[in-house]
């Protein structure tokens, strides 16, 4: 868990740097955090599943792709950053990160997606065709990591997964808007609407389950 805690700390520091406009320094912190997270070896299963090794390799594969996609040169040029797509990069659940608990496959997928998303936000804010193209690639990798957490809900599914996915889709819509590709903008925003409906249904189901759960 030491790698995870350090990665979480770097993520928090980078979020603060991004809020103050220092996207270059934040980008470096996010890259380091991704490298640390890829070194997490002790991962437990969320459920008994023969495909756990395959799932873990798929997650690590997405993280490795992100690492190869990101270079220091992406943030070398000093530019005047416009207003961010969001006021802040996505913050993971710090309380969960600080707890001394086992790292599960779902957690590894989620935290990896958070860090990749934050890197994408830096590139997104930088602007320009090359940076936007790379940001969109990273957003797609986030979708690959988070989508299974939503389409195969379990007790580990939370509103954080839906919130992160919605942020990814909105940011992708913003990129296509800048490229005047309005058909993809509509497609992505429709997906956000459906995602919000799914989240409401998930919350309603959880509330009903909690209401009928026997008291301890």
Q: What 3-state DSSP class applies to 151?
A: helix
Give the count of beta carbons closer than 10 Å to the beta carbon of residue 196: 13
What local confidence, expressed as pLDDT, does residue 97 receive? 43
Q: Measure Cα distances from 37 to 42, 45, 148 in Å.
A: 11, 17, 19
Alpha-carbon distance of 94 to 199, in angstroms, equals: 21
Please enumerate in sequence order all residues whose Cβ is within 8 A of that of 66, keeping only pairs 6 or more positions apart, or say none. 34, 112, 115, 116, 119, 138, 141
Dihedral sign for Cα atoms in the order 58, 59, 64, 65: positive
What local confidence, expressed as pLDDT, does residue 140 receive? 95
Alpha-carbon distance of 191 to 137, in angstroms, equals: 18
Domain ranges for the chain: 2-205
What local confidence, expressed as pLDDT, does residue 45 receive? 52
pTM for this structure?
0.76
Dihedral sign for Cα atoms in the order 158, 164, 167, 171: negative
Identify which of 120, 115, 122, 125 has the alpha carbon closest to the alpha carbon of residue 135. 120
Burial 120-146 (b: 16+ CB within 10 A, else e): bbbbbbbbeeebbebbbebbebbbbbb
Going residue by residue through the chain, which has 216 residues, state the pLDDT in tens, using 9 for 90 and above.
Answer: 677 778 888 888 888 887 787 878 888 888 888 888 777 655 555 444 556 666 767 777 777 677 666 665 554 444 433 333 333 344 554 444 444 456 678 888 888 888 888 888 888 888 888 889 999 999 999 999 999 888 876 655 677 888 889 989 999 999 999 999 999 999 999 999 999 888 888 777 766 666 655 665
Dihedral sign for Cα atoms in the order 25, 168, 61, 150: positive
Residue with token string 């979480």: 8
Residue with token string 């957690």: 107
Tokens at residue 47, please?
């459920």
Please enumerate in sequence order all residues whose Cβ is within 8 A of that of 105, keeping only pairs 6 or more positions apart, or say none. 43, 44, 45, 46, 52, 55, 56, 59
What local confidence, expressed as pLDDT, does residue 59 receive? 75
């Amino acid at each position: 868990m030491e790698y995870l805690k350090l990665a979480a700390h770097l993520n928090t520091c980078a979020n603060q740097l991004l809020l103050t406009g220092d996207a270059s320094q934040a980008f470096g912190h996010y890259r380091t955090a991704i490298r640390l997270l890829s070194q997490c070896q002790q991962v437990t299963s969320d459920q008994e599943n023969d495909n756990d090794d395959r799932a873990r390799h798929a997650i690590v594969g997405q993280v490795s792709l992100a690492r190869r996609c990101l270079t220091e040169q992406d943030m070398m040029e000093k530019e005047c950053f416009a207003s961010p797509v969001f006021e802040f990069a996505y913050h993971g659940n710090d309380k969960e990160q600080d707890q001394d608990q086992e790292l599960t496959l779902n957690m590894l997928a989620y935290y990896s997606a958070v860090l990749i998303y934050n890197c994408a936000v830096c590139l997104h804010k930088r602007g320009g065709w090359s940076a936007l193209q790379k940001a969109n690639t990273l957003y797609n990798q986030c979708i690959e990591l988070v989508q299974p957490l939503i389409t195969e809900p379990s007790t580990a599914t939370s509103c954080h997964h839906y919130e992160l996915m919605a942020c990814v889709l909105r940011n992708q819509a913003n990129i296509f808007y800048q490229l005047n590709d309005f058909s993809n903008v509509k497609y992505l925003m429709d997906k956000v609407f459906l995602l919000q409906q799914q989240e409401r249904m998930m919350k309603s189901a959880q509330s009903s389950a909690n209401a009928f759960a026997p008291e301890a």
